[in-house]
Amino acid sequence: MTRHSEFVVQVSGLTRAVGTRRHEVRSGRIPGLEGIGAKVPPQAEIVVDVILEAVIGGVSVTGTVKAPWAGECRRCLSPAGGVLELAVRELYTPGGDCDETYPLFDDVVDLELMAHDAVLLDLPVAPLCRESCAGLCPRCGEDLNQGPCGCVVERDPRFAALDVLRSPGEPPAHPSSGPV
């Protein structure tokens, strides 16, 4: 069952004594990391930097997972992207099923299982190219980040109704400024 992967860590030396720790940095590709709004590009390297510690009943894994992501800005549809840096704290136990805990099998910890789940859960669902993205004009479709598109801004019909009450040329009505 043991896979050959950058993320597979042999822990037989570690599990002999509770409290033993080891620092591991592993990197590689993980396929299938695709969400609704963004995905990890297939060639992107994912970096797992963790401390493994032998605990009663298993191995705890604490550290960070770093993964680049790419998507499409939900406002202007141009490319959006960034790097996720996620804090992880998981437990590997014999009989783990990736639900409560991850499997510890033949003294092997597969960090890919944990990294896969953490990244998939945190991929942005509605990414933005930047926080202040102005988006596209709903009328002409022009990218408003490049400047105004020239469309006449439609007024709220409720204000148009107020205009009818005003005679042409008269300044906006004000309760205290009417003729006495």
Give the nearer residue to Zn ion in terms of CB position, either 89 or 139: 139
Side chain identity at residue 133, one-letter code? C
In the bound complex, what is the minimum distance in angstroms from residue 67's beta carbon to Zn ion? Answer: 21
Decide if residue 70 touches Zn ion (CB under 5 A): no
Ranges within 149-178 binding Zn ion (CB under 5 A): 149, 151
Please give the full DSSP string across 43-55, using - where no structure is assigned: T--EEEEEEEEEE
**Is the distance from CB of 3 to CB of 110 less than 8 angstroms?**
yes
Q: Which is nearer to Zn ion, 76 or 114 (CB)?
A: 76
What residues contact residue 19 under an 8 Å CB cut-off, 6+ apart?
53, 54
Site map 74..103 versus Zn ion, x via CB under 5 A: -xx---------------------------
From first CA to last CA, the distance across the chain in angstroms is 93
121-140 residues in contact with Zn ion (CB under 5 A) are: 129, 133, 137, 139-140
Helix (H) or strand (E) holding 32: none
Chain contacts with Zn ion (rule: CB under 5 A): 73, 75-76, 129, 133, 137, 139-140, 149, 151
